[in-house]
């Protein structure tokens, strides 16, 4: 039996919040010079393209798994992207896919436990908050890279 806990934010507002972060991350991707997007790093951190790979391999596959109740393991990108423009295209496709799968969630689903990628057993809402937190974390790395490259990143509140 599904239960409904007290609601603090509507599913529509949570999606808007997430997509606001995704729009900001997209702008960060756009600001990187092509070569630096794939090669620049500091202190042993991965280049931003690798961080973007991770974000692309979490958002849609994870949400699809939640909606379809499948626990496919996390996998690295099977398609190797070699141009920043390809990342922006994939990012936009993922945005549309997230919206599509989001529509299939019921309010009750958010409180259900789901074993994300067969490894992380949390409620759906906790998993979604992780997707957002992970993106913010990696975007912060991108901000550091951009500043090191003397490029002004977008204001973090402009979501």
Query: Each residue of 40-81: pLDDT tens digit?
Result: 999 999 999 999 999 999 999 999 999 999 887 777 766 789
Q: Using the predicted structure, report yes or no on whether residue 2 has a pLDDT greater than 70.
A: no
- Residue 14: the pLDDT is 96
pLDDT in tens, 82-115: 999 999 999 999 999 999 999 999 999 999 999 9
Q: What pLDDT, on a 0 to 100 scale, did the predictor assign at position 106?
A: 93
| Residue 152, number of CB atoms within 10 A of its CB | 9
% of the chain at pLDDT higher than 70? 95
What would the DSSP string read from start to end of the chain?
----PPPSS-HHHHHHHHHHHHHHHHHHHHHS-HHHHHH--STTPPPHHHHHHHHHHHHHHHHHHHHHT--PPP---SSPP-SHHHHHHHHHHHHHHHHHHHTT--GGGGGSEEEETTTEEEEHHHHHHHHHHHHHHHHHHHHHHHHHTT-PPPPTT--
- Asked whether residue 133 carries a pLDDT value surpassing 90, the answer given is yes
Average pLDDT, the chain: 92
Residue among 96, 116, 122 at smallest CA distance from 15: 96
CB atoms within 10 A of CB 157: 7
Stated pTM of the model:
0.91
pLDDT category of residue 39 using cuts at 50, 70 and 90: very high
In this prediction, residue 158 carries a pLDDT of 83
Distance, CA of 41 to CA of 92 (rounded, Å): 25
CA pair distance 56, 49, nearest whole angstrom:
10
């Amino acid at each position: 039996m599904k239960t409904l806990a007290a609601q603090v934010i509507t599913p529509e507002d949570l999606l808007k919040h997430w997509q606001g972060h995704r729009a900001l991350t997209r702008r960060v991707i756009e600001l990187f010079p092509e070569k630096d997007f794939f090669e620049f790093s500091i202190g042993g951190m991965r280049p931003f393209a690798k961080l973007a790979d991770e974000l692309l391999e979490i958002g849609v596959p994870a949400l699809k798994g939640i909606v379809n109740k499948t626990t496919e393991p996390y996998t690295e990108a099977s398609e190797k992207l070699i141009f920043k423009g390809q990342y922006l295209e994939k990012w936009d496709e993922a945005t549309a896919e997230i919206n599509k799968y989001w529509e299939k969630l019921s309010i009750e689903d958010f409180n259900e436990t789901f074993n994300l990628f067969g490894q992380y057993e949390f409620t759906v809402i906790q998993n979604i908050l992780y997707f957002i937190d992970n993106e913010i974390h990696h975007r912060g790395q991108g901000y550091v890279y951009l500043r090191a490259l003397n490029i002004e990143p977008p204001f973090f509140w402009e979501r």
